[in-house]
Structure 1
Amino acid sequence: MTPTVETRSASPTVVKALISPGGVEAWHVESDVVPLIAVAFTFEGGAAHDPVDKPGVAQMLGRLLDEGAGNYDSDAFQERLAGRAIELSFNAGNDAIGGSLKTLVKHADEAFELLRLALAEPRFDADAIERVRAQTIAGLRYQQNDPGVMATRRFFEAGFPGHPYSRPTSGTAESVAAITRDDLVAMHRLLIARGRVKIAVVGAIDADRLSVLIDKVFGSLHEAKPLRIIEPASLVATGQRLVADLDVPQSVIRFGTHGITWCDPGFIPAYVLNHILGGGAFTSRLFQEVREKRGLAYSVGTSLVSYRAASMTWGYTATKNERVAECLDVIASEIARLHADGPTDEELQKAKDYLIGSYALGFDTSTKIAHTLVQIAFEGLGIDYIARRNELVAAVTQADIRSASDRIFGTGKMLTVIAGRPTGL
């Protein structure tokens, strides 16, 4: 086994880069606190690689990977998991398909074998496909009357027209109905491959044993072929307000402007800026101005969205139809004020103190640590990122905030989508 690279994280934990004899890399945190093993993994490529006329294939694939594999049909596979209290799940987003595994140490061999079967030998039985298809379509039809879903869908259609990110990751009722077994097999062949998977393992397992198990699971996959390039995209239609008409008493609002990707050197200042604007649950400016001072909404907030080929600053709220215009004016005014004047020195320091102090709370379970590590690996931030992250936050200056603000809010324009029947716009 090759030498490992070690760094101390803010958890504090020791993160090691393990290279198995078969050449599979995994980030490993060995911990004997509880007799559990948590695994997180992410494969490059997701719903952005769906066929143009069939959005929803990648997400349907994710839902079918544990619906029977190898010699086990769906019922038998689930019984094997339940009989050993093994937790296995999969998910698919725009840029990746991944999942997680949690097992007691004494059942590790069987758990990793079931994971191998799910990834390498999914059955895609006809009855499982039709069951998952029916569940997906039922969910999509239910969502047709959900203002939050409708606002989000309209936002991405308008913000990234003609781009893969404009298509719903879960598909439509019509596209899901048209998905065939061949589509699923082709997507599985494209995405589930060694060479572009990131893996993190946390728990009571030593490097030598883990190396063997990692090889059995991920070393058994076929070699990856190049994915098609997803062209970079920028949020368009900024400055527009669009309405998705729904007969509901309260409108749901989605708004967004430009962003900064996670791997960009300017991300950490943008992250601190976002916390001040709308990322802080009860302390952010938008929370104070929209909810506390005016009672316009129960909840309001913003976050940074970072995709492989796009980024944006994304916000949400909901308010009575007759107060939509006022709510939007307050949000726009607060963003403009923050951009023009910046935060106070005290405001900036409080934001940094909170983001530094709360960071370790994300490492209170093995599963959380594993998912955080695999996301860091996926973004290419380096195995020492956890150790460096708080220092990066602490180093943010007012000049850094101004630079991030210019990049995000410089145009002064947002794309806004309202699902409901707002008045007074």
Structure 2
Amino acid sequence: MITTRRDLPRIAAALVVAATSLFAASNPASAATKIQRLVSPGGIEAWFVQDATVPLVAMEYAFTGGSTQDTADKQGIGSFTTNMLDEGAGDLDSKAFHERLERRAITMNFSVTRDYVRGSMRMLKGDSGEAFDLLRLALTSPRFDAEPLERVRSQMISNARRETTNPVSIAGHRFWEEAFGTHPYAWRPNGTVESLSAIQAADLRDYAHRVLAKDTLKVAVVGDIDAETLGKLLDKTFGALPAKADLKAVPAIDAAKPPRHAFVMLDVPQSSINFGGPGIARNDPDFMAAYIVNHILGGGTLSSRLYKEVREKRGLAYSVSQSLIWMNKSSVFAGTTATRADKATETLDTITSEIARMGREGPTQQELDEAKSYLKGSQMLALDTSSKIASALVQYQLDNLGIDYIEKRNAIVDAVTLDDAKRVAKRIWGQGLLSVSVGRASQAAAEPAAPAKSN
């Protein structure tokens, strides 16, 4: 996905200072008391943390919609739309809009996930008025002019074409197709060469009009701004959007039941492997237990079981990890690794065996205790900038966790028992795997590549 990032030195310096300023207290409860629920005079709600340590303001926001609002024959409409929002708006063409951003070192980003359109903005306090006004134009009056449209299309098609020969991309796309078939979750959020070629400006206008609406908007703001000023800026920025989104219904779906494996032949020396299976909803009472077990099994740290078995004991791969992915209408756990082509089968067998063992036995008490300690400490360390805090607060809103979630989270982690962890391990990791391997066939992988013929 193409995003706009213009992190110029003036704002970068402020961010360095901000990284150590906010939520510095080690007690999560003290941090949580700073979060306010603000409702503007026009009814725009935001979660708000006022902090005057540095003259910086960060805002994150989201609209429900995402790539599920594309169409099967025009995958990538949402991504194309967000890539065009800062390419001219109102009476400003693309060049003039970018010059306004750069003059004030304003950072403005737009992106699409399967369920949401997300945006972020950072600016110095004195530039808040101009930054919010530019965002207003981008969201309410995007131009979709021909020249930037074709330029962005060319960039997106170039990316899509590269993905057709990239084993990591191929494995990732195929995993979602195996998991969700023809459901919109299987579509490619960034589009394909064919679909991107078919998208027109009218498709982008229609998407923006249907998706960018006040009734699904979630906002979080962190920084040096007072509530009264922020309320007025929120109304000015979002107030002219449609009151209600016009979204296509997206049906609920369970990921395909494992075990099943897909192999994609590609003549490359290193095979890419994606693996996973049905996951767990964010509002499920067992979610935190699953989150802890996932950390123990393959959460991306050097102490995870998969890392120890795949890399440390056998030297099969440089890294291996997995995560829980939850969407509005489904969920999966998903992992990735890459290995030498002649070791692909052994690597996948090792992963499959280790995941099956977790499903049968669950974690140990020591593993559970160590994971709890890590997850409680890392949560606060992860909130080390105003932008990260704002992003987390938007996610908490999307997940319906409540404005006091930071305060409650450690107690939720501590409440998970070994019985809980073993029960959820069997439920999620005891059913086998969906897996995709991209690379050479096993026989071809065991043989050296043929030398190139000279002309």
The aligned counterpart of 2:337 is 317
Trace 1:31-50 onto structure 2 (pairs within 5 A): 31-50=51-70
- What's 1:421 paired with? 440
The CA deviation at 1:229 is 2.0
Look up the SS of the partner of 1:205 in the other structure. Answer: coil
1:258 is aligned with what amino acid? P
Hey, what does 1:306 align to over in structure 2? Answer: 326
Secondary structure (helix, strand or coil) at the match of 2:62 reads strand
The SS at the match of 2:214 is coil
On the 8 A contact 2:250/2:329 being kept in 1, the answer is yes
2:384 is matched with: 364
Amino acid at match of 2:440: R
1:409 and 2:429 are equivalent in the alignment: yes
Give aligned-pair identity as a percent: 46
Match of 1:224 in 2: 244
Structure 1 201/9 Cα, relative in aligned 2: closer, same or farther at 3 Å? farther
Contact 1:324 1:422 in 2 (8 A): no
Match for 1:276 among 290, 296, 307? 296
Q: Which one of the candidate residues 386, 394, 400 is aligned to 1:380? A: 400
1:11 CA displacement:
7.3
Residues 63 and 132 in structure 1, CA contact (< 8 A), matched pair in contact too: yes
Who is 2:17 aligned against?
none
Aligned with 1:316: secondary structure? strand
Deviation, 1:79, is 0.2
1:114 alignment counterpart: 134
Give the drift of 1:237: 5.5
Q: Which residue of structure 2 aligns with residue 3 of structure 1?
A: none
- The CA distance in 2 between the partners of 1:152 and 1:167, in whole Å, is 12
- How far residue 280 of structure 1 moved from its aligned partner, in angstroms, is 4.0
Q: In structure 1, the residue corresponding to 2:334 is in which secondary structure?
A: strand
What is the match of residue 259 of structure 2?
Answer: 239
Bigger Cα displacement from structure 2, 354-363 vs 334-343: 334-343
2:269 pairs with 1:249: yes
CA deviations 1:239-273 (Å, max 9, x no partner) are 12111111101100000112112222211110000
Preserved contact between residue 305 and residue 314 of structure 1 (Cα < 8 Å): yes
Between the aligned partners of 1:112 and 1:367, the Cα distance in structure 2 is: 16
| Residues 152-184 of structure 1 deviation map (CA, whole Å, 9 limit, x = unaligned) | 111111211110011111111010000011100
SS in 1 for 2:220: strand
- CA distance in structure 2 between the aligned counterparts of 1:174 and 1:194, rounded to whole angstroms: 33
Distance between the aligned counterparts of 1:10 and 1:251, measured in 2?
46
Measured in 2, the distance between the counterparts of 1:134 and 1:237 equals 38
5 Å-filtered alignment, 1:56-67, equals: 56-67=76-87
Find the partner of 2:31 among 3, 6, 12: 12
Tell me the distance in 1 between the aligned counterparts of 2:364 and 2:398.
35
- Structure 2 distance, partners of 1:338, 1:42, is 36
Work out whether residues 257 and 278 of structure 2, in 8 Å CA contact, stay in contact via their aligned partners in 1.
no
Residue 187 of structure 1 corresponds to which residue in structure 2? 207
Letter of the structure 1 residue corresponding to residue 397 of structure 2: A
- Report whether the alignment pairs 1:171 with 2:191: yes
Residue 163 of structure 2 is aligned to residue 143 of structure 1: yes
Cα deviation digits, residues 17-57 of structure 1 (max 9, x gap): 10111111000000011100000000001101102210000
Provide Cα deviations, 1:364-407, integer angstroms capped at 9, x if missing partner.
10000000000110111111111111111111101111221132
Provide TM-score, normalisation by structure 2: 0.90
Q: Does 1:82 align with 2:105?
A: no
SS of structure 1 residue aligned to 2:215? coil
Is this contact kept in 1: 2:275–2:334, CA < 8 A? Answer: yes
Give the RMSD, CA atoms, in angstroms. Answer: 1.4
Match in the other structure for 1:53: 73
What TM-score do the two structures reach when normalised by structure 1? 0.96
Whole-Å Cα distance in 1 between the matches of residues 157 and 418 of structure 2?
49
Q: Distance in 2 between matches of 1:247 and 1:310?
A: 34
Whole-Å separation in 2 of the counterparts to 1:197 and 1:119:
12
Give the secondary-structure state (helix, strand or coil) at the position aligned to 1:418: strand
CA distance in 2, matches of 1:269, 1:298: 28
> Could you tell me how far apart the structure 2 residues matched to 1:49 and 1:104 are?
34
- Equivalent residue number for residue 122 of structure 2: 102
| Unmatched segments (≥5 aa) in structure 1 | 1-7
1:330 equivalent to 2:350? Answer: yes
Local SS of the residue matching 2:233: helix
Higher deviation after alignment, 385-394 or 200-209 = 385-394
Q: Which runs of 5+ in 2 are unaligned?
A: 1-26, 446-455
What is the deviation of 1:422?
Answer: 4.0
Is the 2:83–2:152 Cα contact (8 Å) retained in structure 1?
A: yes
Q: Counterpart of 1:28 in 2: which secondary structure?
A: strand
Report the equivalent of 1:4: none
Separation in 2, partners of 1:393, 1:25: 29
Q: Distance in 1 between matches of 2:107 and 2:264?
A: 39
- The corresponding residue for 2:286 is 266
AA aligned to 1:302 is: Q
Q: Which residue of 1 aligns with 2:44?
A: 24
**Retained in 1: the 8 A contact 2:109–2:121?**
yes
Match of 1:5 in 2: none
CA contact (8 A) 2:216 2:245 kept: no
What amino acid is aligned across from residue 362 of structure 1 in structure 2?
A: A
Structure 2 partner of 1:391: 411
Contact preservation (8 Å) 1:9, 1:384: no
Post-superposition offset of 1:72: 0.4
Letter in 2 for 1:360: M
